[in-house]
Structure 1
């Protein structure tokens, strides 16, 4: 998958001379899992590529979950340093993977519905709840959704949002005015209460003086 390519320095690294038996076995398993079989016909190719693609999906979600755990568990500043200097991808990819994993944990998107491309998944988790509901209704929240399908859906969402901009602006302006008015009234009420308190105190003082 794009985004997971190791830096050149890591690719050039050689295995140490004295490899432990368990390390040899792990290396052998990697080689077997990466072995390209000879396929005969479309069905074979679709089967093999599909299996690898599903594995890739599971891997990026698992990486995202590790990143969430690291963000929550590492001391302040250590997570950012790890992402910047020690991982085979940068801050942008790390952020996207983490946001996707969080969306799955928050049940905004079911793990089984997650697109196999983390970039497509990230575009979906950026949507608000209303737009994400529309994405479900449009059946673009699924593992095999293509970039083209998702882009077309997002463009429709954007176009609909732009058409509603004047109404949204009017409501936003009204909300801003009401908040400003509420603040002013709250300030005025505080002044009234302070004056009442002061006047009440003066009356009490005069009553005490009269009794004495």
Structure 2
């Protein structure tokens, strides 16, 4: 409900979106969003967006550690049964965290959206080297996806594909096949 430049936020169910009310920049609980200015609004949204990126990185890092430490099959079972996202989303978050932590491109040069970082992280070494000068915080997902297409389009007809990219693609396909087989087994067992 909007009243004189203020928007009253409905109180969420217990624990759901509770963090929304935790930070208005003063440390006091926030129940009303007050429009001060365009600049203030942009600053708050950017800060929240950056915090969301940091949260997705933290989730990815937790997933990396869990996958490394859990017994075979236990990690996938946990993701499928207990987490609020799909195994493919978990794989994306892990990939992003591993890429950021590799330091290949400094975090301050990367876009704040994990979906865009994922597109960058899945570039072959050659594609990343070619794209590196164009990687910047304002990079869009469409632009990041275009790096792959640009690389494919510039290859001469009949040229040998990038071996490293093919190996990574095979590994991704193997992972997808394993996940599909696990889902099929679950369906067949009536779970």
State the aligned residue count.
145
Distance 1:111 1:137 in 2: 14
Match for residue 83 of structure 1? Answer: 79
After superposition, the CA RMSD in angstroms is 2.8
Aligned with 2:52 (options 53, 56, 60): 56
Tell me by how many angstroms 1:154 deviates. Answer: 3.6
1:113 aligns to 2:109 (yes or no): yes
Q: Deviations over 1:53-106 (max 9, x none)?
A: 110111111111110000001122111111001111110110001011111222
1:31 aligns to 2:30 (yes or no): no
Aligned with 1:167 (options 159, 174, 178): 159
The answer for unaligned runs of 5 or more in structure 1 is 1-11, 16-26, 173-212
Where in structure 2 are the equivalents of 1:1-212 lying within 5 Å? 31-33=21-23, 35=30, 37-138=33-134, 141-161=135-155, 164-168=156-160
Tell me by how many angstroms 1:127 deviates. Answer: 0.7
Structure possessing the higher radius of gyration over alpha carbons? 1
* SS across alignment from 1:37: strand
The answer for unaligned runs of 5 or more in structure 2 is 1-11, 25-29, 164-191
**Structure 1's 71 and 136: CA in aligned 2 closer, same or farther, altered over 3 A?**
same
Tell me by how many angstroms 1:13 deviates. Answer: 7.6
Tell me by how many angstroms 1:28 deviates. Answer: 7.2
Distance 1:66 1:30 in 2: 22
Q: Which structure dedicates a bigger proportion of its chain to strand?
A: 2
